[in-house]
């Protein structure tokens, strides 16, 4: 079903030359199936897309009525064809419905931009999704399969801060010289603050600048500890304070 829908969407865009509503499409529904609630379905790329196609055709579509699902194709070609409008529409749909399933997507490298024939490189869609859905943490939990013995019996929960950091970083490749990072307060009457100044001595370096918002750390902690209490798991907080002194 995913395969035929994707083909229809791309063909519709190519024939009209403009963005059409084909990127938002409900899967076909039929009677006698278990009705699924509304959900935003975000299609990805490569093997993950093919795997979900098989799952949809074999175990979802024959038994589940997905007529209320909204489908968005976030393949590199779809994002390029729509100038990323499909990404913004997917974020809006997820915020409206409050239930999202997302396949892994590809953030194309410079080589892939040429290979796929894209107009320009596109950034990772994950940052836009987290901003649009107020996603402040990424939960990565262990998967326990009956009959397969792991080195631990209880589940392990991982929470990672999903705001700021390298997702919103600015960067540039530079040569030898000097780098000065300066903060300018919102109040123009206050003096600027030099965050860091250093010499760049190598012929080729990558200078990266990013910030880590701390306003939502309390929300992140609440999510983490609430999950641990519910699952009766002892929480641990891991940081690298020997290097990142600001975490103290």
- Work out the pLDDT band at 248, boundaries 50, 70, 90: low
Distance CA 43, CA 53 (A): 10
Tokens of 69: 């699902």
Express each pLDDT in 73-98 by its tens digit. 999 999 999 999 999 999 999 999 99
CB-based contact 244:179 (threshold 8 Å) = no
Half-sphere exposure of 35 (CA within 13 A, CB side): 4
- Work out the pLDDT band at 239, boundaries 50, 70, 90: low
Q: To which H or E segment does residue 131 belong?
A: helix 125-133
Of 56 and 215, the one with more pLDDT:
56
Q: What's the maximum distance between 2 C-alpha atoms anywhere in the chain? A: 69
What pLDDT score does 80 carry? 95
Express each pLDDT in 149-186 by its tens digit. 888 888 888 888 777 777 678 889 999 999 999 999 99
Q: What is the mean pLDDT of residues 211-227?
A: 84
Q: Give Cα separations from 12 to 71, 72, 111, 114 (angstroms).
A: 15, 14, 27, 24
Pairing of strands 193-200, 64-65: unpaired
Tokens of 94: 């997820």
Distance CA 118, CA 18 (A): 16
Q: Please, what is the average pLDDT of the chain?
A: 82
């Amino acid at each position: 079903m995913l395969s035929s829908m994707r083909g229809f969407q791309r063909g519709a865009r190519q024939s009209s030359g403009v963005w059409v509503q084909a990127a938002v499409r409900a899967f076909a529904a039929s009677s006698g199936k278990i009705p699924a609630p509304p959900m935003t379905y975000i299609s990805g790329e490569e093997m993950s897309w093919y795997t979900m196609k098989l799952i949809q055709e074999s175990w979802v579509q024959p038994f589940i009525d997905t007529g209320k699902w909204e489908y968005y194709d976030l393949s590199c070609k779809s994002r390029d064809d729509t100038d990323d409008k499909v990404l913004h529409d997917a974020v809006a749909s997820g915020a409206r419905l409050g239930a999202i399933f997302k396949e892994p997507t590809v953030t194309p490298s410079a080589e892939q931009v040429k290979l796929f024939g894209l107009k320009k490189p596109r950034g990772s869609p994950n940052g836009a999704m987290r901003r649009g859905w107020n996603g402040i943490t990424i939960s990565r939990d262990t998967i326990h399969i009956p009959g397969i013995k792991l080195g631990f019996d209880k589940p392990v929960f991982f929470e990672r801060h999903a705001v700021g950091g390298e997702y919103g970083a600015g960067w540039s490749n530079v040569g030898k010289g000097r780098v000065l990072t300066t903060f300018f307060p919102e109040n123009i009457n206050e003096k600027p603050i030099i965050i860091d100044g250093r010499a760049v001595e190598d012929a080729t370096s990558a200078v990266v600048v990013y910030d880590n918002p701390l306003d939502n750390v309390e929300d992140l902690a609440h999510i983490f500890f609430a999950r641990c209490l519910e699952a009766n798991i002892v929480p641990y907080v891991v940081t690298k304070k020997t290097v990142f002194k600001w975490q103290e």
